[in-house]
A and B are shown apart, each in its own frame.
Chain A
Amino acid sequence: MVMHYQTQAMEDGVPPTPEEQAAIGEYMQEAAMSGVLLSGEGVASSRLGARVEVNEGAVRVIDGPFAEAKELIAGFAILEVDSLAEAVEHARKFALLVGAERVDVRKVVEFEDLQQS
């Protein structure tokens, strides 16, 4: 899974510029043409979301927006690739193309991983 992070502008609800939208579209198209893209979504500003916190069994629901924009996921893509190195190369392309400041690459846990533990 490749995840990129919210910028302050996104969090403030500024819609992506046509250039940014085109860049994301180009990336999705490229990933699709590589045959590695399984799915991907972008998420809206946290002002449209909520956070559920549990502290020693007590549940607190906090409405958005949240304070730290940079810690929020802005979107993700699930890629099927052979290796971490290959996923990193796709993430690098994505980061350069859309101008993301940070992109995390994480492995999706599969059935086999659970059996080993």
Chain B
Amino acid sequence: MPSTIKSENKTLNIAGKKTQLTILGEGPPLLYLHSAGGETEPIAFHKKLAEKHTVYLPAHPGFALSEGLDRIDDINDMAWHYVDLIQELGLEDVPVVSYSLGAWIASEVKLLRPRLIGPTVMIAAAGLHVDGAPMAELFIDEFDDLRKLLFFNPESQEAKDYFPSDVNDPRILMWLRAREATARVGWNPYLHNPKLLQHLHRLDSPVQLIWGKQDKLIPAAHGEYYAAHLPNAKLIELEECGHMVPYEKTEEAAEIALDFLLTENA
């Protein structure tokens, strides 16, 4: 990894919503849509992507310093926000790497404006209800339980670093904001849109699905369902990996994503 990666912070006005945007690296554009965890500051995974791409890393409304959650009532509003944002950035057919909540948003944007989004990497995507594979409860208070839910190895250093450990952690306010913004669109129906199922056949551009085999929050069966019902998708499941793919399998997942985008853009 190069020691210095070009990085720029911006504040955009997206239809009246103050929006935090970080731009990383150089090369063809890539839009990264973050998860409920709110990885809005560059992490190692983003930096890997930024070795080959200019990575646009916006914070969803209500996350980090982005505002406008009062104008988001559901996932549909969130998707329209991204229609506005992508147009504001002057992008079209932009490749997307998306993770969990972000991957759900990517699907919804693609349905609204198919031409805005190009080949898409969807990591541990929310968005579906799959019979027999219920998603676990994300909205709990205990950090230790959350760590066990999300990581394959909750004792690992990245698991410890990533989560606040108690309410006195200075990151707690940002964490509570991220949790609220996720609940806004994902409380009920729980982290999915019942209508997305019947639209999957319309999402016909190339999709690379990446899943942790031991994902307890969104079981790998969801990845298999997406793979079976999206017309042009393939799935890679990673061993010894939970929901936190970009943290637990940083190099591997970034390589899969970059290879896929290289092939699709060739």
Do the two chains bind? Answer: no
